[in-house]
Amino acid sequence: MISSKDKELEDLINKLQSTHIDPKEAIRLQIKASRYITESPLDTPPATVGGFDLSFPNNARAAAIVIESSTMETIEEILEDMPVTMPYIPGLLAFREAPVILRAYNSLKAKPDVIMIDGHGRAHPRRFGIACHVGLILRKPSIGVAKSLLIGNAEEPGDNKGDWNPITLGNEVLGAAVRTKPGAKPVYVSVGNLISLEQAVELVLKMTTKYRLPEPTRRAHMLASRYKNTR
DNA sequence: GCGACAG
DNA sequence: ATCTTGTCGC
């Protein structure tokens, strides 16, 4: 049986991929789509983790990296370009960046078990940041890793790698401020889809070596920016 | 009305 | 995100 709810989700997933959309409509879509996000724990530990980031040499350029979690080795890299169709509006970042990210994801031969995206997941005004947006469209476990807060507050975590405090807003826990490197500002982690916050934090820490950002996102950032002043 | 505001 | 060199600190 195909329920009406399945059809609504299918319809939402299509609309979330619009390359041109009115901000008011975009906000309505986020509010509806937010209800389909799942924060249930992952049952199988991820063997591969994908990382995505963008640069804007001219058009929008997305870099996708797939890393084997047991060895931390990059097993695939992809670069995709696409014209920019939306301006940057706080809270609506996904409508500007998701299209190229999805194109890069589709180009990957080795589909990762979990994906990490630059930006927030549930730590968002409508609880539907870019990590939720991409995670819902792909129906794939996703994690948001941001370098600054969009909403909510968090106490400064301790200075040891692994120390973290919740990002809260009222009685809600939206994510976690995680110390990935002593002496460096924390990273803000939140659930995108199909994973628990605890597992998201755990995976971000596992994928972090000697830098502030976890390897998936860090390598994707380097790859996306590499040829900025070249080809 | 006055700020705040992922990338 | 992007424009950009040197420089302060661990």
Nucleotide nearest to A88 (CA to C1'): B7
pLDDT in tens, A171-205: 999 999 999 999 999 999 999 999 999 999 999 99
CATH number, domain of A29, equals 3.30.2170.10
Q: Report pLDDT for A41.
A: 97
Nucleotide nearest to A132 (CA to C1'): B6
Residue A174 CA and nucleotide B6 C1' are separated, in Å, by 14
Q: Where are the alpha helices (DSSP H) in A34-184?
A: 93-107, 130-138
Which residues, in sequence order, are CB contacts of A39 under 8 Å at separation 6+? Answer: A122, A191, A195, A196, A197
Q: Hey, which residues does A52 pair with through a beta bridge?
A: A64, A117
Asked if the structure places residue A103 within a domain, the reply is yes
Nearest to A67 by CA among A228, A223, A231: A223
Asked if the structure places residue A125 within a domain, the reply is yes
Answering whether pTM is above 0.85, one says yes
Q: Report pLDDT for A222.
A: 96
Which residues, in sequence order, are CB contacts of A215 under 8 Å at separation 6+? Answer: A51, A67, A72, A207, A208, A209
Please work out, in degrees rounded to the nearest 5, the angle formed at the alpha carbon of residue A198 by the alpha carbons of A192 and A203: 75
Strand (E) positions, chain A? 48-55, 60-68, 73-82, 114-118, 142-146, 164-169, 172-178, 187-193
**C-alpha–C-alpha distance, residues A76 and A59, integer Å:** 23
Asked if the structure places residue A120 within a domain, the reply is yes
Domain count of the fold of chain A: 1
- Residue A93 Cβ under 7 A from any strand B atom: yes
Q: Decide: A15 and A33 in contact? Cβ < 8 Å.
A: no
Determine whether the annotation assigns residue A11 to a binding site.
Answer: no
Nucleotides of C under 7 A from a protein CB: 1-3, 10
Determine whether the annotation assigns residue A6 to a binding site.
Answer: no
- pLDDT tens track, chain A, 231 positions: 766 778 999 999 999 999 999 999 999 999 999 999 999 999 999 999 999 999 999 999 999 999 999 999 999 999 999 999 999 999 999 999 999 999 999 999 999 999 999 999 999 999 999 999 999 999 999 999 999 999 999 999 999 999 999 999 999 999 999 999 999 999 999 999 999 999 999 999 999 999 999 999 999 999 999 977 554
Asked if the structure places residue A231 within a domain, the reply is no
Structural domain boundaries enclosing A46: 4-226
Residue A174 CA and nucleotide B3 C1' are separated, in Å, by 22
- Residue A143 Cβ under 7 A from any strand B atom: no
Asked if the structure places residue A97 within a domain, the reply is yes
Residue A44 CA and nucleotide B3 C1' are separated, in Å, by 44
- With a pLDDT cut of 90, the percent of chain A lying above it is 94
Q: Report pLDDT for A1.
A: 73
- Residue A91 Cβ under 7 A from any strand B atom: yes
- Residue A146 Cβ under 7 A from any strand B atom: yes
Q: Hey, which residues does A172 pair with through a beta bridge?
A: A169
